[in-house]
Structure 1
Amino acid sequence: MDEQLCYAYAVVRSSDPPERTALADVRGVAGAPVTLVRSGAVAAVVSAVPREEFSEAALKVGLEDIRWLEATARAHHLVIETLAAHTTVLPMRLATVYLDEDRVREMLRERETTFTTLLDRLADHVEWGVKVYAEVPPASPPDPVAAGRPADEANPGRAYLRSRRHQRQEREDAWRLAEEAVRRTEEQARGLAVERTRHRPQEGGLAQAPGENVSNDAYLVPRRLSEEFRSRMLHAADGLHGIRVEVTGPWAPYSFTAPLAPDAQEEARRR
């Protein structure tokens, strides 16, 4: 029984030779060398991975293991970003696995028109991430004594209500400024970005930066306009107290190509 499966990272034009240039020294998921499977005008960037680690049952376990997931994601994105520095690339979802290279060729034949259309549209474009963060006061009012302010001993209820009104006003002001920052980013993107994708604001452990994530957008920008786009976004919150704009990129156009292939569980069921 074949103990290897075929892990797919991305789709590129078959005329590109990245396996002899960009990917020559790159190791992908599970430390495997990376190569291309060609079909017509397109090719899939793939590597062999062990069945025992990437079968349907194994993936269900692995995707719940934070260390395995992080290592796999790092290797996956390294391959894609290496490619993106040399050619137009259509990233595939993390952990997209096929039975063998013949199944990959079949997928490429079925979707060649879709892939070539996307490659034409995304040529010489990159993705930039733009997040707006706001320092929003907590919903519960602070204890005036604990905060270093003397309480109104004659009327503690009045002091409490005054504190609530003050905090409510602070929260309203923070949200108003955040909305203004989002409006500015949208305005500054006009004439530079050709597309935008809105993602869900990050919460909890995903929101690694301080403050509350108010917006989480991805913009598709012509490569030649990237530095102007970045500069505009970095200044979008100028003069807005407690508001910060985080700009990340440039990236391969992850947000503008999905879904290119079924996820790992869906593909496993096709085997």
Structure 2
Amino acid sequence: MVDDTGTYLYAVASDVAAPCPQGLKGVAGRDVRAVAQSGLVAYVSTVPLDQFGEEPLRRSMEDLDWLGATAHAHHRVVEAVARLGPVAPVRLVTVYSGEEQVRRLLEERHDDFADTLARVAGRQEWGVKAYVTKTEAAPVAPEPGGQEPASPGTAYLKRRQASLRTREESWRDAGARAERIHDALRSVAVASRRHRAQDPQLSGRDEWMVLNGAYLVDEELAEEFARVVDELRGQGIELELTGPWAPYSFTVLEEGGPR
């Protein structure tokens, strides 16, 4: 008989961490428990495969409401575990056939997980997004002698050309400034990563996102990092600081073997 449940994996930590917080709920409202093996502990839930099997997941991942609720539950578990000590989150909706497969993962990838946990110990992830206002087209200058453009078509082409030039120049300038901001922030961090700019539908903003950075920062340097962000504000660029987070951007491994 084929088992109709799978094992959802949230994160991996050292087995010296405290036990799983009592009453912690994960995706689909399922209880979270700890699975120990080879000096590591995995935080997991049992989930129904009619929701988390391969084919149902393909459909569910297109449902933004379902995806948002699942991501929120996943994040809640990771953050709860991160309060206990260094943690290595795994990718959203990573589902294994059962606990035995998770135990094999911990045994086979022990050194990778141990190195990752050592790297993030005493450190937190901070996010910085940079936005600039989209530049509108400049007005068309009058023809020499004070005459207006000869025809509406000519005026339209001139406006179009001016708009493209203005946008390209603004984008290049904003990109160069974003690069300088990133360099200043990573000088405080021990590691950094630039993610793809978010679509406006996800960011909820109309401005251009010119930087979507993640920075791994020693806990004792958190205030200094925030101070540097404040110093970089202004000059037409708005900076958004988020965190601290569990170190998602610096710990996810290609685990291999999930269903």
Q: CA deviation at 1:166?
A: 4.9
Partner of 1:205: 201
Instruction: Say if 2:138 and 2:166, in contact at 8 Å, map to a contact too.
Output: no
| Deviations 1:145-174, CA, capped at 9 Å, x for gaps | xxxxxx965634675566456545543553
Q: Secondary structure of 1:77's match?
A: helix
Is the alpha carbon distance of 1:167 and 1:257 closer, same or farther for their aligned partners in structure 2, counting shifts above 3 Å? same
> What is the number of residues matched between the two proteins?
252
Partners of 2:38 and 2:131 in 1: how far apart?
A: 45
Shift of 1:253: 0.9
Q: Do residues 134 (structure 1) and 127 (structure 2) align?
A: no
Equivalent positions of 1:1-271 (< 5 A) are 1=1, 2-19=3-20, 23-137=21-135, 141=137, 153=148, 155-156=150-151, 159-160=155-156, 163-164=159-160, 166-168=162-164, 170-238=166-234, 240-241=235-236, 243-262=237-256, 267-268=258-259
Q: 1:58 to 1:160 in 2, by over 3 A?
A: closer
Deviation at 1:256, TM superposition (A): 0.9
Letter of the structure 1 residue corresponding to residue 231 of structure 2 = H
Instruction: After TM superposition, give the deviation of residue 185 of structure 1 in Å.
Output: 1.7
Q: 1:66 to 1:192 in 2, by over 3 A?
A: same
CA distance change for structure 1 residues 217 and 190 in 2, over 3 Å: closer, same or farther?
closer
> Which consecutive unaligned segments of at least 5 residues does structure 2 have?
141-145
- The equivalent residue for 1:147 is none
Deviation at 1:65, TM superposition (A): 1.9
Q: Give deviations 1:207-257, integer Å, cap 9, x for gaps.
A: 32230111211111111111221231233132x12x211221111111111
Distance 1:216 1:152 in 2: 46
Q: Give me the TM-score of the superposition, normalised by structure 1.
A: 0.83
AA aligned opposite 1:11? V
Q: State the Cα distance separating 1:15 from its structure 2 match.
A: 1.4
Percent of residue pairs identical:
39
Runs of 4+ in structure 1 displaced over 3 angstroms?
141-144, 151-170
Per-residue deviation, residues 7-62 of structure 1 (Å, max 9, x unmatched): 1100000111231xxx2232111111111100121110011112222122222222
Cα separation, partners in 2 of 1:47 and 1:152, compared to 1, 3 Å: farther
* CA–CA separation in structure 2 for the residues paired with 1:103 and 1:154: 73
Change (3 A) 1:36 1:260: farther
Contact kept, 8 Å, 2:182 with 2:213, in 1: the verdict is no
Find the aligned partners of 1:72 and 1:210 in 2 and give their Cα distance. 26
In structure 1, list runs of 5 or more residues that go unmatched: 145-150
User: Which shows bigger deviation, 185-194 or 84-93?
Assistant: 185-194
